[in-house]
Each structure stands twice: as C-alpha cells, then as structure tokens.
Amino acid sequence: MTTRRAVLKGGAAALALAGLGAAGAASSSALAGKTEWERLQRRLTGRLVLPSSGDYDLAKQLHRTMFDGIRPAGVAYCETVGDVRACLSFAQHNGVPAVPRSGGHSYGGYSTTEGLVIDVSRLNTVQVGEHATVVGPGAQLTDLVDAAGAHGVGLASGICPTVAMGGYLQGGGIGWQTRSLGLGCDSLESVQVVLADGSVVTCSEHQHQDLFWALRGGGGGNFGIVTRYERRNSTIPGMVNYTLAWDWDHVKDVVEGWQRWLPGAPREMSGRCLLGLLNAAPDATPLLITDGTFLGSPEDLDAHLDALVSAIGRAPAARDAEDLGFRDGMMSWFKCSDKTVAQCHRVGHNPEATLPRAGFQIDRSRLFKEAVPSSGVDEILAAFDAERRAGHIRFIHLFALGGAASDVPRTATAYVHRDARFSVDLATVLPPVMDNDEERAAARAWIDRAFTVTDQYSAHETYQNYIDPDLADWRQAYYAENYPRLVKAKRTYDPHGFFDFAQSIG
C-alpha cells in the first residue's frame, strides 16, 4: 500500500486540478515555511491561528488539559467546505501532517497534532426541517438538543453537552435515546465528505454506499472530513428523567438486580448503574445510583421503576422523577438547567461559555452481551474498592444498550456492537492540585487492574468513540468482523493513507 508520506507529494496533483494547489511546495520531511502559512491564511474564509498568535493557547486546546503539551504548527478554523479543501491542499503540498477536529473529545488526543489542526467547529449549523435535520460537524449536543427541541423533534443524543457531531456520529453515537431511537448514526440519511484528494462527495444508501456504510461506525478521522450530515427526524412525546439512590451496603444486590431487570425493560427506558468515589480516601463511602430516562409519562414510568426495585429486592434510599420533556430533560443531564445555550459550552467556545475543561482523566470500557455472574460482580466490586488513594476520583458505571440499536444486524453498518446489552465504563480523574507523575501512575495502575478484572466477563469489544490508546486488540475490539470491509473502504477513499493516527484504519 502506498504510504501516507507519498500522498503528501502525489495527492497534490489532484488538488491542483481542483484549483487548490499551492505553489512553492516544501520538502515532505519538514513543516511549511512562513510564506506557505501566509498563503494558506489568504485562501481561508476562516482564520488561521499560528504559535505567534495571541490566542494560540486557546486555539490548540482539546477538551482535556492533559493534551496541552501538544503544540500544533497551526489551527485552521474552517467556515466553508472550500476552507477544508484548502487545508488539505496545503498539508499535502507542504508535507504537513493534518487531523480534523470538531469537539476535541478524543480520549486518545487524536484530534490534535504537531502539524495542522483542521478545525470544523464553525461548521455548526442545525437546520430542522419537516422530515430531516441538517447538522454541521461542529454542532455540539447542546446546540442540537436546543434546536431540535424547539421544533418538537427528538434526535438520538449523547451524554456530554460539548461533544460535537463530527466524531459522535461517525463513531456510532450512543446515549440516553439509544434503546428507543437507535444509535445517532442510525438516523443518517446522507453525509457530505471532503476526501484527501480534495473531492467533495455526498454519500447515502444510493450513492457511495460503501463510504456511507463506513462512516456509520468507522470512527472519525479515518476516511475524510465530514462537512454536513442529514439526519432523519423522530418524535418524542415526552421524556422523564429518573434517579434512584441506594445504600452502599446493598451494592451487590443493586448491580445484580439491575442486570436482571434490563432485558425485560421497555426500550423507551434507558438506564445506568453508577458506582462512584468523589474522594477515594480509605474511609469514604461510595455513591450508588441507578438513573436514566423514560420516553413516556411519569405514570407509566412508575410501574417500570417498581419492577427495577423488585428485581433488586431492596428499597432505594431515595427515588425521584422529573417530567421535563426532551429539551429540558437533556439540559438537566448536561447540568445546564440554569444556563443559556451559550453558557452550556466549554469556556473559550464563546464569550458566555461557562463549562470547565476536563483535566487528567483515563477512561476504559468494555461491552457485555450477558450479565456478569455473581462471582464476577464480587471481583469487580473488589477492584473498584482496591488501592484507595485520598483525593482520587473513580467511577464504574453500567450503561444500558440494546433495544432499537439491536434491531440492526452487526454488519449492516460499520458499528458492529449491535448485540451488546450494556457497557461497563471505568474512569479515574485527578483534581488539578494532584496532577503529577506519581498520582498519574497510581491512577493508571488502578484503572488498568480494574479493567483486567472486568474484561474477564466482557465480549472483548469496545465502543469506538471511547477510544482507548492502551488497547492492544483495538481492531478487533472496535470493529470485529467489520474491519476487513473498513480497510477496503479506506483503500478506496483514502488510498494513500493521508488520514493517519495511532489507531487509524488501514
């Protein structure tokens, strides 16, 4: 297969034919000189931020501060499809590595580079039509929920308000509506993509079907840069958020009962079982809750919550339900009920934004097709409680899948995990005052050991949007039997491997 470096030379010819060539190509082994960067800026409708720019430190940020040490040679804020094409032309003519960035939430930091960051956050339109909604890759979940909710439309959405559509939909897109509406990518009608050679294609079930298949679960940054999605609308009659809190002494009953309850729960109901230590000091009592959403009325929800309590065999310490509807219910999950939409963005996104960035955090996840046996629950609980360290934050949560997402066969889209019943997601977080090498090593040691214990009972598959740099089996874990077809699509649409990162397809 032709190497990525070859395309830095060879792909330039195709881009020149499209009228996007840049004169004075530099060596592919070195980054471009000042003149070439200035020429790129003149070609852009948007803005090019260089290390000498006053706002460079803001422009290079991802969601997590742990990647702040990576210093891109430039960040291009693309405002048009033409801007994206110009960036690809520049990168290939000048031997500059380039990656797309929409929301900057990659757990592996794969949406940044020491080369050119092609930022599509300003391609953030949300246009709600009668039957479909057109969404830009830079539209964040909070923008989508607000715009769709205002028109009485419901779209499958994720959990974090500042995740953008660019990566969310390409990775599949799970969230509170997965069981009822399917994955986010299941609503896609068409996708507009700029390929590495600068061509702009629209793919759907009727054109470029193999690319359309790959973009529904293949993961962001693999095949091209998406500039437009068209999503089929759904109607949500109502949405009720619920939370049940439990005494930690009953944790095994809760985890086992939640697993027993899930297969019989209606698909209108999402669910999570969360174990948390906000301070992992030896004497701290963990948090234990089950929560989720129900697409229906509070009266209908009551019976289903009664069934959950019955399966657990214990009465909760607290039980609460809020009938907020789709828009306000999602804003509640985002912790933005008291905020405007502008405020419900990460600081720096706009002048009113208030949400903080994340710091040092490691996430690891596996998918499950069957309930964890009683002995396995004991082992996972012991791993959660092991190696307590004051100040550290740790979570394990089980997140319900299945329902409408499982109506689609494993190979019908690139998202292969259709038969997963739930995920088990682990996270460890350090407060800023504790972020040092020693504490990082301790946090990593805990999560790696807990992951090893948990993985014994999993399907050995991982949701690709929860990308994990430490997975040795990532090809099998993310894509399983769909990987060979993804490689074939990669060779068709990015034959020289221009879009390249540590866990890229190909």
Which residues, other chains included, contact 143 with Cβ-Cβ below 8 Å and sequence gap of 6+? 124, 126, 341
**Cα–Cα distance between 224 and 499 in angstroms, integer?**
7
Tokens of 45: 């409708």
Residue 506 located in a structural domain = no
Residues 184 and 256 reside in one and the same domain: no
**Cα–Cα distance between 463 and 94 in angstroms, integer?**
35
Q: What is the CATH number of the domain that holds 155?
A: 3.30.465.10
Looking at residue 31, what is its pLDDT? 76
Cα of first residue to Cα of last residue in the chain, in angstroms, is 9
**Cα–Cα distance between 181 and 448 in angstroms, integer?**
33
Which residues, other chains included, contact 375 with Cβ-Cβ below 8 Å and sequence gap of 6+? none
Looking at residue 7, what is its pLDDT? 37
Query: Per DSSP, which regions of 342-456 are E strands?
Result: 360-368, 393-400, 422-430
The three-state (H, E, C) secondary structure of 285-338, written as one string = CCEEEEEEEECCCHHHHHHHHHHHHHHHCCCCCEEEEEECHHHHHHHHHCCCCC
Measuring CA to CA, how many Å separate 243 from each of 239, 299, 321?
13, 15, 6
Residues 168 and 185 reside in one and the same domain: yes
Reply yes or no on whether the pLDDT at 272 is more than 50: yes
Residue 437 located in a structural domain = yes
Residues 33 and 107 reside in one and the same domain: yes
The domain boundary residue, chosen from 122, 148, 183? 122
Residues 365 and 288 reside in one and the same domain: yes
Return the H-helix or E-strand segment holding 6: helix 4-17
Tokens of 452: 């090893």
pLDDT, tens digit (0-9, with 9 covering 90-100), for 294-326: 999 999 999 999 999 999 999 999 999 999 999
Q: Could you tell me the residue range of the domain that residue 425 belongs to? A: 240-323+358-471
More confident residue, 268 or 8: 268
Kindly tell me the sign of the dihedral angle through the C-alpha atoms of 216, 219, 222, 228: positive
Q: Are 240 and 294 in contact (CB under 8 A)?
A: yes
Average pLDDT of the residues of the chain = 93
pLDDT, tens digit (0-9, with 9 covering 90-100), for 345-369: 999 999 999 999 999 999 999 999 9
Pairing between strand 116-119 and 74-77?
parallel
**Cα–Cα distance between 24 and 81 in angstroms, integer?**
24
Phi and psi based region of residue 374 (left: phi greater than 0; alpha: psi -120 to 50; beta: remaining): alpha
Residue 215 located in a structural domain = yes
Which residues, other chains included, contact 30 with Cβ-Cβ below 8 Å and sequence gap of 6+? 95
Short-list 158, 161, 160, CA closest to 176: 158
**Cα–Cα distance between 427 and 498 in angstroms, integer?**
32
Short-list 89, 98, 74, CA closest to 22: 89
Residues 284 and 411 reside in one and the same domain: yes
Looking at residue 127, what is its pLDDT? 98
Residue 206 located in a structural domain = yes
Q: What is the DSSP secondary structure assignment for residue 166, as one 8-state letter?
A: H
Residue 364 located in a structural domain = yes
Q: What is the CATH number of the domain that holds 308?
A: 3.40.462.20
Residue 429 located in a structural domain = yes
Which residues, other chains included, contact 52 with Cβ-Cβ below 8 Å and sequence gap of 6+? none
Residues 420 and 467 reside in one and the same domain: yes
Residues 230 and 251 reside in one and the same domain: no
Reply yes or no on whether the pLDDT at 30 is more than 90: no
Reply yes or no on whether the pLDDT at 14 is more than 50: no
Residue 47 located in a structural domain = yes
Residues 44 and 23 reside in one and the same domain: yes
Residue 45 located in a structural domain = yes
Residues 157 and 108 reside in one and the same domain: no
Residues 270 and 369 reside in one and the same domain: yes
Pairing between strand 360-368 and 422-430?
antiparallel
Looking at residue 32, what is its pLDDT? 81
**Cα–Cα distance between 77 and 119 in angstroms, integer?**
5
DSSP 40-108: HHHH-SSEEE-TTSTTHHHHT--SBGGGTT---SEEEE--SHHHHHHHHHHHHHHT--EEEESS---TT
Q: What is the DSSP secondary structure assignment for residue 198, as one 8-state letter?
A: S
Burial of 348 (0-12, 13-18, 19+ CB in 10 A): middle
Angle among Cα 146, 158, 137 to the nearest 5 degrees reads: 70
Residues 71 and 160 reside in one and the same domain: no
Residues 307 and 365 reside in one and the same domain: yes
pLDDT, tens digit (0-9, with 9 covering 90-100), for 155-212: 999 999 999 999 999 999 999 999 999 999 999 999 999 999 999 999 999 999 999 9
Short-list 248, 64, 48, 233, CA closest to 163: 64
User: What distance lies between CA 16 and its chain's CA centroid?
Assistant: 34
**Cα–Cα distance between 350 and 73 in angstroms, integer?**
23
What predicted TM-score, i.e. pTM, was given to this entire model? 0.93
Total domain count for the chain?
3
Reply yes or no on whether the pLDDT at 467 is more than 70: yes
The domain boundary residue, chosen from 64, 91, 122? 122
The domain boundary residue, chosen from 99, 122, 145? 122
Q: What is the CATH number of the domain that holds 108?
A: 3.30.43.10
Short-list 438, 468, 277, 492, CA closest to 363: 468
Looking at residue 236, what is its pLDDT? 87
